[in-house]
Amino acid sequence: MNNNPEFHKAAAGIYRDAVNKFGIQNTPKLVLRKDEENGSKTLGRTAYYDPENYTIVLYISGRHPKDILRSFAHELIHHVQNERGDLQMGDASNPQYAQQDDHLRNMEKEAYLEGNLLMRDFEDNFKYQQQ
């Protein structure tokens, strides 16, 4: 992934679309993490957002580039939520925060919905422009 220009171009395009759609003010740091052990697990980590450091971490070992981009779009929405101040209203340290905290459950719903739509719109527009 680190030397895949097509992946980096797509990630930059998704980020640009997110800036335009959601008004992102601060560029998050992006970390592409290789972790073969994690990548071999059926339910290994895919990504996370660190709101204190404005950092998106994407696990890339054993994953399709499109799946990684989808995770990127999801985590970008968490960044948007953080900029709005919404992530400070819950405690994500509990492994079941998305099941036990109604506010954080709603944050996950928004990230899944808006992140997947961000990815879908980017992909559809990219394919349309290639015709």
Q: What is the CATH number of the domain that holds 96?
A: 3.30.2010
Q: How much of the chain, in percent, has pLDDT values that exceed 90?
A: 76
Please report the pLDDT score of residue 126 as a whole number. Answer: 82
Residue 114 has pLDDT above 80, yes or no: yes
In the block, residue with structure tokens 């980590």: 45
Residue ranges making up the domain that contains 81: 5-130
How far is the C-alpha of 57 from the C-alpha of 59, rounded, in Å? 7
Burial class (CB in 10 A: 0-12, 13-18, 19+), 43: exposed
Mean pLDDT rounded to a whole number for the chain: 91
Tell me the three state secondary structure of residue 82: helix
User: What is the reported pTM?
Assistant: 0.90
Look at the chain and report how many structural domains it folds into. 1
Residue 89 has pLDDT above 70, yes or no: no
